[in-house]
Copies of this chain bind each other. A is one copy, B any other.
Amino acid sequence: MIVVMARDTSDDDLNAIRERIEARGLKAQISQGVERVVVGVLGSIPPDFKDEMELMNGVTQVVMISKPYKLASREFHPADTIIKVGDAVIGGPKPVIMAGPCSVEDEEQMVSTAKAVKAAGATILRGGAFKPRTSPYSFRGMGEDGLKLLRLAKQETGLPIITEVMATADVETVAKYADILQIGARNMQNYNLLDEVGLIGKPVMVKRGLAASYEEWLLAAEYVMAGGNQQVILCERGIRGFETFTRFTLDVAAVPVIKRLSHLPIVADPSHSTGKWYLVTPVALASVAAGAHGLLIEVHPNPDLAKCDGPQSLTFENFDMLMEQVNAIASVRKQPVTAG
Q: Which A residues form the contact surface with B (CB < 8 A)?
A: 42-43, 68-70, 132-137, 140, 166-169, 186-187, 189-194, 209-211, 213-214, 216, 219, 222-223, 226, 239-246, 249-253, 255-257, 260, 273-274, 278-279, 281-283, 285-291, 325, 328-329, 331-334, 336-337
Contacts and interface: CB of A to CB of B under 8 A. Distances in A.
A279 B256 contact: yes
A89 to B, nearest CB: 21
A190 B190 contact: yes
A85 B288 CA distance: 31
Contacts of A332: 325, 328-329, 331-332
Given A190-B190, A223-B136, A253 B256 contact: no
Nearest to A275: B253
Contacts of A169: 168-169, 192
Contacts of A189: 132, 134, 186-187
A193 B191 CA distance: 12
Given A287-B286, A334-B325, A240 B243 contact: no
Contacts of A286: 252, 255, 286-287, 289-290
A132 B209 CA distance: 15
Given A281-B336, A290-B285, A332-B328, A137 B241 contact: no
A244 B246 contact: no
A193 to B, nearest CB: 8
B219 A245 contact: no
User: Can you list the 10 inter-chain pairs with the closest CB atoms, starting with the nearest?
Assistant: A211-B211, A289-B289, A186-B189, A328-B332, A286-B286, A256-B282, A286-B290, A285-B289, A167-B192, A211-B240
A174 to B, nearest CB: 13
A287 B285 CA distance: 9
Contacts of A287: 286
Contact of A241 (B223, B245, B249, B281): B249
Contacts of A244: 213, 244
A238 to B, nearest CB: 9
A197 to B, nearest CB: 13
B283 A256 contact: yes
A334 B240 CA distance: 29
Contacts of A69: 135
A279 B251 CA distance: 12
